Structure 1
Amino acid sequence: MNTSVFAPWDDPGEKPLIQFRNVTKRFGEFTAIDNLSLDIFEKEFFALLGPSGCGKTTMMRMLAGFETPTEGQIMLAGQDIDPIPPNKRAVNMMFQSYALFPHLSVWENIAFGLRRDSMPKHDLEERVEAMLRLTRLEQFARRKPHQISGGQRQRVALARSLAKAPKLLLLDEPLGALDKKLRQDTQFELMDIQEKTGTTFVIVTHDQEEAMTVASRVAVMDQGQLMQVATPDRIYETPNSVYVADFIGDVNIIRGRARQNGGDGYHIDWAEGQEALTAASDNGFDTGQSCHLAIRPEKVAITAERPSDAANAVQGKVHDIAYLGNLSTYYVELPNGIIIKAQTANTRRISRRSYTWEDPVWLSWTATAGVLLAN
């Protein structure tokens, strides 16, 4: 999704489709959602991302009407949805298991909810055919679920969920049952269908790559709280905490103490006998304040000689190499035992690799490559 064009969250005049207002949800003594407030806008593909037990599924179940908030309000299109039963909400939910009827054909599975709503026959037929076209299932219309692949069953569940034209579609780990290659293909199909229909999608996933691929914005959650809500590029490039930096992608985190170095520059004292590192940060740090420097491995250069003009350069030896086909990650051990990862693109054949185990190497990065974090 082109977030430079589509960014209703940056427009103060835009009214959110969904508003969580100071929502808390308790199960006995356990607080699953802790005083959480969040706005989700129309036509967004919004991802709730976090480890098991962080509260993301509870949020989704409250939107669907299967749970009610202990405190606070959830608004859908300006209306408090708490009193509205699940079947009367303009919300549909697609489950990880797909929950298709095994004895009904693909066509009948998609038509099921429309029949329950007593839609006139002609309109129903038109709607089912439109959903089959949208999900590219026309040729499978007469087959039963067991006669089609997992990826096709996933599309049937999606077509059935969209048939009733909900304002909001909830997707609970929808690609969990698919293998990696099919997952990736299906992610792009989901994005395409979401854009074509203009339906607001909220997806729950613990797969960071999936969230970063499909979503217009991602909410990273932990223990019932929102850690950061932002576009995927902001979450990756400017995480607001060590938790978010560490949860999304691969990262090096170096602990130290900050010393001001004029303007937004800082020196970081981080290891006995090592030169101070330099970093820039818009967030203010007091001299002596403990800090964490988060640097993505692809922003760390690896060379045999010390680069003459690098803002930060440390020497170590290659401890391990992870070969990922298109990339290699070098795990470099510094004299003080800290390991820093550097990633390079494999543009040449592996037999011509420049560095191997135990080689002495220099790692370097710019003053703006890392993000300086307080916690």
Structure 2
Amino acid sequence: MAQPQPQNVFAPWADPAEKPLIRFEGVTKRFGDFVAVDDLNLDIYEREFFALLGPSGCGKTTLMRMLAGFENPSEGNIWIGGQNMKGIPPNRRPVNMMFQSYALFPHLTVWDNIAFGLRREGMDKDRMRVRVDEMLRLSRLEKFAGRKPHQISGGQRQRVALARSLAKAPKLLLLDEPLGALDKKLRQDTQFELMDIQEKTGTTFVIVTHDQEEAMTVASRVAVMDHGKLVQVATPAHIYEAPETVYVADFIGDVNIIEGTVIPAQGNRVDITYAEGKPPIRAATDKTLVPGQRVSFAVRPEKILVSREMATERTNAVKGRIEDIAYLGNISTYHVRLDSGHLVSAQMTNRNRLERREFTWEDEVWLSWTETAGIVLTE
């Protein structure tokens, strides 16, 4: 049963009374013998910023192309706003698509690029002028209205393409790797601009990306895909903190995964033996496990404390030697080789200046974490 949500939390997927804007119903797409999308079911709701995330070849772009109408499902149905999209061409769908290349017309000004679709639809000049000016304000491009695409920056071109896509007020905007051409700093800035514009317009955004950080930043929910199937669909926080499989845990962010065997423990705790002669890992879990069952224990580097002395107040403590250090400015990542032979990553905030760093290469250290810091995975 869905739990009631606080009024200020946007979570239509948790409300059984909410009807999805988009529904994939048993959708399969084959190219010859290759199955790109495999019997997929998915609901996406109005005003969501939804991310399709996965490695190259996982089926996410094929899924988006079917939504846009550029590909037809081999089996199953796609619904938008309660209407079956079977046989409906791209130009008759309440959808617009923004490509990675932006596809701006180099000979037209920013203003005319945004107006292009409205002009083709035959919108009268006064309404068109109001709508384009509104899009310029929304995307903060008023000063650049008279410039050509080659006279503005990559981030500004990205906003022109976005404004042009939104000018026709589609119910749904599809974004195919929209920030891939931008450098990292500009990409991070533009992610927040995208979120702001999406919130102001109320348009449903579906973004395809292979960038985990991008999906986690912008999306209300993330669908992690692999080999044409949905592996997990959840909020970014849930995907990160409570992955359902080793694949999801390993794909999203950095993680340590240690394989072991379940031994009996009391209550909602489990002990996992992972190396001969070493104390077991103790973890909290609500899964039903049996003695002797093989499991994986996943713990994020930032959940692990690095210390000179054994941290007796933490349930789990292991000893090792620092093999490598990655200095990332605000944090440092320590790669520690345990006595058992496992290599474990731990992250610590750099509170002191570099010359006063507490740990260095070849230091013997203790790694420790609480029993709730990690998660037990069975698949």
TM-score range, shorter chain: over 0.9
May I ask how many residue pairs the two structures share in their alignment?
A: 374
Out of 244, 264, 284, the position equivalent to 2:288 is 284
Out of 304, 309, 319, the position equivalent to 1:305 is 309
Residue 316 of structure 1 deviates from its aligned partner by: 0.5
Residue 262 of structure 1 deviates from its aligned partner by: 1.6
Correspondence for 2:61? 57
Correspondence for 2:3? none
> Aligned letter for 1:253?
I
| Two-structure CA RMSD over aligned residues (Å) | 1.0
Distance 1:285 1:4, change over 3 A: farther
**Deviates most, 183-192 or 347-356:** 347-356
Correspondence for 1:321? 325
Out of 294, 299, 322, the position equivalent to 1:295 is 299
Stretches of structure 1 that go unaligned for 5 or more consecutive residues are none
Q: Percent identity?
A: 68
The runs of 4+ residues in structure 1 deviating greater than 3 Å are: none
Out of 91, 95, 101, the position equivalent to 1:97 is 101
CA contact (8 A) 1:3 1:216 kept: no
- Return the alpha-carbon distance in structure 2 between the equivalents of residues 201 and 195 of structure 1: 10
Correspondence for 1:200? 204
- Return the alpha-carbon distance in structure 1 between the equivalents of residues 333 and 289 of structure 2: 31
Out of 168, 173, 184, the position equivalent to 1:164 is 168
Confirm or deny that 1:185 pairs with 2:189. yes
- Return the alpha-carbon distance in structure 2 between the equivalents of residues 168 and 218 of structure 1: 17
Out of 351, 356, 359, the position equivalent to 1:355 is 359
> Aligned letter for 2:61?
T
SS in 1 for 2:312: coil
**Deviates most, 184-193 or 309-318:** 309-318
- Return the alpha-carbon distance in structure 2 between the equivalents of residues 5 and 276 of structure 1: 39
Confirm or deny that 1:119 pairs with 2:123. yes
- Return the alpha-carbon distance in structure 1 between the equivalents of residues 308 and 243 of structure 2: 31
Residue 3 of structure 1 deviates from its aligned partner by: 10
Residue 4 of structure 1 deviates from its aligned partner by: 6.0
> Aligned letter for 1:306?
M
Q: How does 1:32-111 map to 2 (within 5 A)?
A: 32-111=36-115
> Aligned letter for 1:81?
M
Residue 260 of structure 1 deviates from its aligned partner by: 2.8
- Return the alpha-carbon distance in structure 2 between the equivalents of residues 256 and 339 of structure 1: 15
Residue 336 of structure 1 deviates from its aligned partner by: 2.4
Correspondence for 2:236? 232
- TM-score, with normalisation over the residues of structure 1? 0.99
- Return the alpha-carbon distance in structure 1 between the equivalents of residues 264 and 171 of structure 2: 50
Residue 272 of structure 1 deviates from its aligned partner by: 1.1
- TM-score, with normalisation over the residues of structure 2? 0.97
Residue 355 of structure 1 deviates from its aligned partner by: 1.1
- Return the alpha-carbon distance in structure 1 between the equivalents of residues 240 and 260 of structure 2: 22
Residue 273 of structure 1 deviates from its aligned partner by: 1.6
**Deviates most, 347-356 or 32-41:** 347-356
> Aligned letter for 1:129?
D
Residue 214 of structure 1 deviates from its aligned partner by: 0.2
- Return the alpha-carbon distance in structure 2 between the equivalents of residues 36 and 165 of structure 1: 28
Residue 263 of structure 1 deviates from its aligned partner by: 1.5
Correspondence for 1:218? 222
Q: What does the per-residue CA deviation read over 1:82-141, in whole Å, with 9 as the maximum and x for residues that have no partner?
A: 221100111000000000011111111111100111011111111000000000001111
